[in-house]
Structure 1
Amino acid sequence: MKLLFVGTNPENTGAATHFVTLAKAMSEAGHAVEGVVSRRGLIGEGFEAAHIPIHYSAFRNVYDVRGYTTVLRRVRAFKPDWLVGNFGKEYWPLIACGRLTHTPVALFRHRTPRMSKLSEYGIPRMAQRFIAVSNYARNAYLAWGVPPELVSISYNPVDTAQFRPDPELRALVRRELGIADDAIVLGYVGRMHGGKGVTTLMRAANEAMAVNDKLHVLWVGNGIEENMLHEMAASSGYAQRHHFTGWVADTERYCNTMSFLAFPSVEPETFGRVAIEAQACAAPVLGSNIGGIPETLQDKVTGFLIEPGNVAAWRDAIISLCDPARRDAMGQAARAFAIEHFGNAAVARDFEALLNRPHHSRPHGHHAHA
Structure 2
Amino acid sequence: MASVMFRRFASADLPTEPPDVVHLIGEAAYLSTWQVLRLCRRHWPDVPTTLYAAQNVVTRFPVPFPMLEQAAYRSVRMALPITPQARDVLYAKGFRGASTIVPLGVDARIFRPPTRTDRDGRFTVGFVGRLEAHKGILDLLRAAELVDCDVLLVGEGSLTAEIDLAAARRPGRVRRHGWVTHDRLPALIGAMSALVLPSVEVVQRNVLPWVGIPLREQFGRVLVEAMACAVPVVGSDVGEIPHVVGDAGLIFPAGNVTALAERLTRLRDEPGLSDRLAARGMRRVETEFTWERVADRLYDIWHGLATARTAATAGLPVAGTPAATRGKVSA
Query: Which category of TM-score, normalised to the shorter sequence, fits these structures?
Result: 0.7 to 0.9
* Structure 1 residue 204: Cα displacement: 0.3
1:135 aligns with 2:84: yes
Q: 1:142 to 1:234 in 2, by over 3 A?
A: farther
* Structure 1 residue 129: Cα displacement: 2.3
1:64 aligns with 2:7: yes
State the partner residue of 2:34: 92
> In the aligned structure 2, how far is the partner of 1:140 from the partner of 1:234?
44
* Structure 1 residue 239: Cα displacement: 2.9
For this pair of structures, how many residues does the alignment match? 279
Whether the 8 Å contact between 1:120 and 1:146 is mirrored in structure 2 is no
> In the aligned structure 1, how far is the partner of 2:6 from the partner of 2:273?
55
1:231 aligns with 2:149: no
TM-score of the aligned structures, taking structure 1 as reference length: 0.69
Q: 1:253 to 1:68 in 2, by over 3 A?
A: farther
2:178 pairs with 242, 246, 249, which one?
Answer: 246
- How big is each residue's C-alpha offset from its partner over 1:138-196, in whole Å with a ceiling of 9 and x where there is no partner? 2223222323x44432111111122111224x4xxx4xxxxx52222211011122211
> Unaligned 5+ residue runs, structure 2?
202-215, 310-331
> In the aligned structure 2, how far is the partner of 1:135 from the partner of 1:153?
7
State the partner residue of 2:257: 311
- How big is each residue's C-alpha offset from its partner over 1:25-76, in whole Å with a ceiling of 9 and x where there is no partner? xxxxxxxxxxxxxxxxxxxxxxxxxxxxxxxxxxx94351354322x13xx2
Q: How does 1:69-80 map to 2 (within 5 A)?
A: 69-70=12-13, 72-73=14-15, 76=16, 79-80=18-19
State the partner residue of 2:290: 343
Q: How does 1:179-328 map to 2 (within 5 A)?
A: 180-209=119-148, 215-235=149-169, 238-250=170-182, 251-267=185-201, 268-299=216-247, 302-323=248-269, 325-328=272-275
Q: How does 1:10-49 map to 2 (within 5 A)?
A: none
Whether the 8 Å contact between 1:94 and 1:105 is mirrored in structure 2 is no
> In the aligned structure 2, how far is the partner of 1:223 from the partner of 1:247?
10
* Structure 1 residue 123: Cα displacement: 1.0
1:109 aligns with 2:53: yes
> In the aligned structure 2, how far is the partner of 1:167 from the partner of 1:326?
21
> In the aligned structure 2, how far is the partner of 1:61 from the partner of 1:120?
15
- How big is each residue's C-alpha offset from its partner over 1:308-352, in whole Å with a ceiling of 9 and x where there is no partner? 111111001111111462212211121111111111222222223
Whether the 8 Å contact between 1:114 and 1:120 is mirrored in structure 2 is no
> In the aligned structure 2, how far is the partner of 1:255 from the partner of 1:69?
45
Counting helix residues as a fraction of each chain, which structure ranks higher? 1
> In the aligned structure 1, how far is the partner of 2:60 from the partner of 2:178?
31
> In the aligned structure 2, how far is the partner of 1:85 from the partner of 1:257?
38
Name the larger-Rg structure.
Answer: 2
> In the aligned structure 2, how far is the partner of 1:63 from the partner of 1:347?
28
Partner SS for 1:188: strand
Q: Percent identity?
A: 28
Amino acid at match of 1:245: H
1:162 aligns with 2:110: yes
- Structure 1 window deviating more from structure 2 (193-202 vs 340-349): it is 340-349
Amino acid at match of 2:181: A
Amino acid at match of 2:52: F
Partner SS for 2:180: coil
Q: 1:114 to 1:234 in 2, by over 3 A?
A: farther
- Structure 1 window deviating more from structure 2 (92-101 vs 349-358): it is 349-358
Partner SS for 2:268: coil
> Unaligned 5+ residue runs, structure 1?
1-8, 10-59, 175-179, 210-214, 360-370
Whether the 8 Å contact between 2:87 and 2:99 is mirrored in structure 1 is yes
Partner SS for 2:142: helix
* Structure 1 residue 114: Cα displacement: 4.5
State the partner residue of 1:52: none
> In the aligned structure 2, how far is the partner of 1:309 from the partner of 1:240?
26
